[in-house]
Amino acid sequence: MSPQSAAAPAGHTEAVGRTEADRRTETAGRTEAVGRTPARPPAVGVAFADTDALPGLPATLHSKARTLRGAVRSRCADLARIESPTGDSARLNALAEELGAGYAATGAQVRRVPNEAGDHLVMDWPGRDESLAPLLVVGHHDTVWPVGTLADWPVEERDGALTGPGVLDMKAGLALVEGAFALLADLGQRPHRPVRLVVVADEELGSPDGRKLVERQLAGAAAVLGLEPPHPDGSLKTARRGSSRVRLTVTGREAHAGNDAALGISAVDELVDQLVLVRGLVNQPGTELNAGRITGGTRANVVAGRAEAELGLRFATPEAQRRTLDNLAHLTALRPGAKVRAEVLSSRPTWPVRPANPLLRHVRSLAAALGQNLDGAPAGGAGDTNIAGARGLPTLDGLGAVGAGPHARHEHIRTDQLAPRIALLAALLAVPLPRLRERA
């Protein structure tokens, strides 16, 4: 696939031609944010001894990240060559094994959480200050691409883009975070606070099982970071729409379509009418419907006894989500004798926009210290960080690789953006977090 020919977004190229004055202006905000946390002497090493001013750190991270980017690029390619569609437990487990080995090599304790449709992974890295609440990072190792996709779409790099099934969503994110820990390990350093990375196997299905695992980690987390791809210009994701997957099942009665049509109740006809009705129900601002799949009936001379549809719904507000799911739960059949049932297969709550966002301010200031100009914006898609954001936890997503085309044949990452991301992630792990919420 040919990569997008657009020039690199100005804000996300590495600092070139930036003046010292520019840098001072950018870091002014950072000092304020970081300054809220009383300086705490690090337990080990000297590289981070002066994090308030970050004198040597940005340069160190910057140059180390550039050294590591080749390894991270190869790692991403290798991970993408292990196909891992949701539900294929053998392949997902093979990939989990590979991922676990990589994270273990950077000092993580790795735990597999058994799941029939593919194991989840939990990694723990010790922090310099083990008494602090952990930083939670969430990702997934399943992809939307069926086995065999690699045969006609191999992983390859061309014109600064690495393309292949699942590279952006999110094999690169998984490789980047490994690279960030490898960078710290190279420096003989630990993250400031303990870090827990949860990688689930069923995210692309709405995390029907993985969600429980993510939810269990939220209570004690200081902040939550997601490894999903950022916006195409590299901006982080600061809020996301809610999303629900609903199966509509219609039961009718089979009959000979020629001799006994009057005895039959067509589930297909009922489903068609229900879909029109549902389209009316969701026709409100902030709600979107995609009738993603419909099936039903057996053959032309049999009145269909069963039909179903799988609906994908998106919501801008928690109220719209609640109201719509409530309406769907109360659908009734239009034909006497038919039955309609709506079943929520998976659901992610709306993660609303928070105008004051100290976590974004912190990341923006770290990026500025590294010579990157980074911002955040709300996003349309949903992910596991929705659960954290909906609960009001300090949450940011989009810390994965910069690229375009998730779930599409032009999916790719921009390899020139790997080093800035490795450096940013390493800084986020190494530098103390400012105070992110009001005390309860």
Hey, which residues are catalytic here?
A: 142, 203
User: What are the residues whose beta carbons fall under 8 Å from the beta carbon of 145, sequence distance 6 or more?
Assistant: 83, 85, 165, 166
Please report, as residue ranges, which positions from 63 to 122 form the binding site for Zn ion (by CB under 5 A).
none
DSSP secondary structure code for residue 301 in this structure: T
DSSP code at position 223: E
Which residue's CB is nearer to Zn ion, number 228 or number 254? 228
User: Residue 54 or residue 170: which is nearer to Zn ion going by CB?
Assistant: 170
Q: Give whole-number Cα distances, 421 to 102, 116, 179, 390, 426, in Å.
A: 18, 34, 10, 26, 8
20 CB-contact burial (10 Å; exposed 0-12 / middle 13-18 / buried 19+): exposed
d(CA 237, CA 143): 20
Q: Which segment (20-28, 165-173, 214-222, 394-402) binds Zn ion by CB under 5 A?
A: 165-173
Structure tokens at 383: 């992910």
Q: Which stretch binds Zn ion (CB under 5 A): 169-177, 212-220, 251-259, 365-373?
A: 169-177
DSSP string, 257-307: TTTSGGG-B-HHHHHHHHHHHHHHHT-STTEEEEEEEEEE-S-TTB--SEE
Minimum gap (Å) between residue 320 Cβ and Zn ion = 23
Question: Min. distance of Cβ 169 from Zn ion in angstroms?
Answer: 4
What are the backbone angles phi and psi of residue 179, rounded to the nearest 5°?
-65, -40
Which of 170, 401 has the CB closer to Zn ion?
170
Of residues 173 and 394, the one with the C-beta less far from Zn ion: 173
Distances (CA, A) of 138 to 225, 416, 423: 6, 24, 18
CB 282 within 8 A of CB 254: no
Minimum distance from CB of 348 to Zn ion (Å)? 12
Tell me which of 26, 88, 119, 169 binds Zn ion, using CB under 5 A: 169
Residue nearest to Zn ion (CB): 169
Using CB under 5 A, count the residues that bind Zn ion. Answer: 3
CB of 230 to Zn ion, least distance (A): 12
By CB under 5 A, which span of 8-16, 184-192, 221-229, 235-243 interacts with Zn ion? 221-229
Q: How far is CA 93 from CA 109, 111, 125, 216, in A?
A: 17, 12, 22, 22
Comparison of 226 and 371: residue with beta carbon closer to Zn ion: 226
Q: Build a one-symbol-per-residue string for 378-397: x at contacts with Zn ion by CB under 5 A, - elsewhere.
A: --------------------
**CB 393 to Zn ion: min, Å:** 19
x-marked contacts with Zn ion along 223-242 as a string, rule CB under 5 A? -----x--------------
Say which amino acid occupies 119.
Answer: D
Query: Which of residues 26 and 228 has its CB atom nearest to Zn ion in the complex?
Result: 228
DSSP state of 143: B
Shortest Cβ 228–Zn ion spacing (Å): 5
Instruction: State which of positions 170-199 bind Zn ion (CB under 5 A).
Output: 170
Tokens representing 365 are 């200031």
> Can residue 202 be called a binding residue for Zn ion (CB under 5 A)?
no
**Torsions phi, psi for 292 (to 5 deg):** -80, -25
Q: Contact residues for Zn ion (CB under 5 A)?
A: 169-170, 228
